[in-house]
């Protein structure tokens, strides 16, 4: 199984979702190198408040990088270029939030996100993204709650993390 790419999803759903966070998408031609891409090739790039994508960029990659932007504190966001940095608990929060946001994209959803994360090679102790999300992600969920990024019903609240003082 191959992962779902942005062209298959369509540009509008992703743009509408991420605009709620003030994140702009720059769509690049297929042959171009993606600036700000940590992984290179087709993977999404992140520079300041710009998510850089091509039509062949995997949707999971676009959401993962977008969630880095959402989950980092304002100080890191102000100097963001390529490497989002952050602590392991923040990375867990990023992965958890990208799964939640997948449900906001028609034709994608969390089940496809789990499959695409596994296909791409995300590594979780329990062997799959779904098992991690359902059985081993309490710390990620709590981190998102503590930082005001989801509500008690585990719904995204569509705001950016503010200061690093909330990360305790």
pLDDT in tens, the chain (168 residues): 699 999 999 999 999 999 999 999 999 999 999 999 998 899 999 999 999 999 999 999 999 999 999 999 999 999 999 999 899 999 999 999 999 999 999 999 999 999 999 999 888 888 899 999 999 999 999 999 999 999 999 999 999 999 764 443
- Rounded CA gap, 90 and 36, in Å? 20
Tokens of 152: 């008690």
**In which order are the strands placed within the sheet that holds 24-27?**
24-27, 50-53, 45-47
Instruction: Count the neighbouring beta carbons within 10 Å of the beta carbon of residue 81.
Output: 11
Q: How many residues would you count in the chain?
A: 168
């Amino acid at each position: 199984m191959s992962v779902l790419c942005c062209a298959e999803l369509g540009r509008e759903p992703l743009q509408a979702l991420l605009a709620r966070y003030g994140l702009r998408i720059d769509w690049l031609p297929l042959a171009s190198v993606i600036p700000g891409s940590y992984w290179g090739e087709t993977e999404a790039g992140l520079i300041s408040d710009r998510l850089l994508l091509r039509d062949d960029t995997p949707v999971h990659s676009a959401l993962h990088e977008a969630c880095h932007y959402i989950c980092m504190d304002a100080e890191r966001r102000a100097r963001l270029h390529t490497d989002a940095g952050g602590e392991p608990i923040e990375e867990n929060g990023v992965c958890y939030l990208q799964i939640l946001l997948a449900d906001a994209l028609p034709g994608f959803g969390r089940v496809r996100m789990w499959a695409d994360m596994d296909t791409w090679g995300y590594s979780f102790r329990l062997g799959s993204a779904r098992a991690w999300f359902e059985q081993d992600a309490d710390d990620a969920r709590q981190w998102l709650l503590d930082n005001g990024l989801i509500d008690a019903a585990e719904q995204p609240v569509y705001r950016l993390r503010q200061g690093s003082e909330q990360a305790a």
